[in-house]
Amino acid sequence: MKSEKVKLGLIGLGTVGTGVVKVLKDYDNIEIKKIAVKNINKKRDIENLAPSILTTDPFEIVNDPEIDIVVEVIGGTDPAFELLKTAINNKKHIVTANKELLAKKGQELFNLANEKNVTILYEAAIAGGIPIIMPIKTTLAGNKIHKIEAILNGTTNYILTKMEKDNVSYEEVLKEAQKLGYAETDPTGDVEGFDSAYKIATLATIALNQRVDINKIYKEGITKISANDMQFAKELGYKIKLIALAKLTDDNKADVRVHPMLVPQKDCLASINGVTNSVVLEGFPVGRVMFAGPGAGMFPTASSVLGDILAIVSGIGSDNLLPFMKCNHTKNAQQISIEQTTNRYYISITANNNPGVIGTIGKICGNHNINLASVLQKGIDKENTARIIIITEESIEENINNAIDELKNNSSIVKINNLIRVME
Ligand SMILES: NC(=O)c1ccc[n+]([C@@H]2O[C@H](COP(=O)([O-])OP(=O)(O)OC[C@H]3O[C@@H](n4cnc5c(N)ncnc54)[C@H](OP(=O)(O)O)[C@@H]3O)[C@@H](O)[C@H]2O)c1
């Protein structure tokens, strides 16, 4: 182990970067040599920050022969990918919080890192402050994990929690979340499920031990969830959550997806409210394990980045640094499509108030091998239509799609309002 200070280059000084600088000030053995930013004149919330430490050229950091560890917290793939490739080629260890980069370019970066014998750590990229990568790679390493159910996006969980508690619409809560800083001005990345998909891509890859392709992950956001859906779900004993799911099928294929789900109120994920994140893993021999905590924010995220930095510092100079954290996947996952998945379903239907309409719905479902588990009819409105909610037993999604098509073409059915998958 080196006796002099370990030198670190920080790329990005926004929410996470600022947190990292603040928590690193207590470590005498680590020196931040340079920090790259976009706007050098921006006021920074850091005491005694020497202006000379800042640069607008992040390549200065990745090419600096004195720097041992590059911490990348700018986000996105461009220029982050080129920067990290250069850093790895220059034999620097990497700490990153960048889920998008890992999901899209992880394979290339990890292969290069193995070739150059450097380490990439990324605890902060998945579920912010919750320790999940290191536990899977170390303490849980002896397990065959076959299922992950997770809430990986604080913004959407905040919105859904508020919709349920206050019985208000998605649009109303989104506006409030934007005012409070819980949602971005352009919320697409969160509300359409991109952020959760990036995270589950990497999480599933390491937990299922097969490379999961982000482009094959089915993704559906929360924008179509109505206040009515929330209330009907509640009456039926469920909450609605945006779930990132990854599981192995019986024939060892990977079923990886992100979409809203009705979660039984007794399930531990139903009690994850507000911006909190949670990951539930199922494996053998451990059984079911739940992790929960802050999925974002300056200090929780800095906690994970700091843990990664300290892990690298503890072994720096060794020829075989943190071998258990290396990427060792050799197999690409065979990912099934959403049509091939099996789920229970919540279907919200507006139907004409005709005698026998529930029988018609049951018959159409039966035509496609779908059994109904429960039916809820809400009162008749002034157009003489009724809202009918059905929960199905387990069915193949392809069959459900066919049943929905037949329902849409039936004269008794006015509208299919929503279709939401239901957690077992
Ligand atoms: N925020 C969280 O709670 C959180 C949680 C987990 C993971 N993450 C991940 O952490 C990363 C950073 O997130 P953040 O919230 O800290 O972002 P942020 O607040 O927007 O900060 C981004 C920083 O990167 C700098 N930057 C952007 N492009 C640059 C370039 N080309 N060269 C040099 N500097 C550049 C910006 O400089 P200026 O300051 O000059 O504009 C800013 O300091 C992302 O990958 C994000 O997904 C964030």
What number is the average pLDDT over the span 171-180?
95
Classify 253 in phi/psi space as left (phi over 0), alpha (psi -120 to 50) or beta.
Answer: beta
User: Is residue 2 over pLDDT 60?
Assistant: no
Q: Within a domain: residue 46? A: yes
Cβ-contact 420, 261 below 8 angstroms: yes
Closest by Cα among 63, 68, 50 to 6: 68
Q: Give the Cα separation of 219 and 166 in Å (integer).
A: 27
Report which ligand 1 atom has the smallest distance to the Cα of 38. Answer: 40
Cβ of 84 below 6 Å from ligand 1: no
Positive or negative CA dihedral for 323, 327, 330, 334? positive
What is the C-alpha end-to-end distance of the chain, expressed in Å? 50
What does each C-alpha distance from 36 to 8, 28, 39, 115, 302 come to in angstroms? 12, 21, 9, 27, 17
| Per-residue DSSP letter, 74 | S
Q: Give the Cα separation of 36 and 151 in Å (integer).
A: 32
CATH code of the domain covering residue 371 = 3.30.70.260
pLDDT one-digit tens code per residue, 238-251: 999 999 999 999 99
Cβ-contact 335, 251 below 8 angstroms: no
User: Is residue 105 over pLDDT 60?
Assistant: yes
Q: Within a domain: residue 333? A: no
Catalytic residue among 7, 92, 104, 199: 199
Q: What is the pairing mode between strands 254-264 and 218-219?
A: parallel
Distance between Cα 209 and ligand 1 center (Å) = 29
| pLDDT value, residue 3 | 58
User: Is residue 329 over pLDDT 70?
Assistant: yes
Whether residue 164 is found in the same domain as residue 121 = no
User: Is residue 133 over pLDDT 60?
Assistant: yes
Whether residue 255 is found in the same domain as residue 354 = no
Report CA 50 to chain centroid distance, whole Å. 36
CATH code of the domain covering residue 69 = 3.40.50.720
> Please, what's the b/e burial string for 259-289 (b: 16 or more CB within 10 A of its CB; e: otherwise)?
bbbbbeeebebbebbebbbbbbbbbeeeeeb
Q: Domain tally for the chain?
A: 3
Cβ-contact 190, 184 below 8 angstroms: yes
Cβ of 42 below 6 Å from ligand 1: yes
Active site residue 34: no
Reported as half-sphere exposure (CB side, CA atoms, 13 A), residue 240 has a value of 33
Closest by Cα among 346, 359, 355 to 393: 346
Q: Is the peptide bond before 285 cis (omega within 30 degrees of 0)?
A: yes
Whether residue 188 is found in the same domain as residue 321 = no
Whether residue 242 is found in the same domain as residue 256 = yes
Whether residue 290 is found in the same domain as residue 359 = no
pLDDT band at residue 10, thresholds of 50, 70 and 90?
A: very high
What number is the average pLDDT over the span 190-196?
98
Cβ-contact 374, 362 below 8 angstroms: no
**Is-above-0.95 flag for pTM?**
yes
Whether residue 274 is found in the same domain as residue 208 = yes
Whether residue 216 is found in the same domain as residue 321 = no
Cβ of 264 below 6 Å from ligand 1: no
pLDDT one-digit tens code per residue, 33-72: 999 999 999 999 999 999 999 999 999 999 999 999 999 9
Whether residue 259 is found in the same domain as residue 113 = no
| pLDDT value, residue 383 | 87
Residue 185 identity:
T
> Please, what's the b/e burial string for 185-196 (b: 16 or more CB within 10 A of its CB; e: otherwise)?
eebebbbbbbbb
Positive or negative CA dihedral for 71, 75, 77, 78? negative
Distance between Cα 75 and ligand 1 center (Å) = 5
Q: Within a domain: residue 224? A: yes
Q: Containing H/E element for 231?
A: helix 227-235
Q: Which of 21, 73, 199 to mutate to test the pocket of ligand 1 (most atoms within 8 A of CB)?
A: 73
pLDDT one-digit tens code per residue, 254-307: 999 999 999 999 999 999 999 999 999 999 999 999 999 999 999 999 999 999
Q: Which of 10, 11, 22, 38 to mutate to test the pocket of ligand 1 (most atoms within 8 A of CB)?
A: 38
Domain range for 230: 133-294
CATH code of the domain covering residue 154 = 3.30.360.10
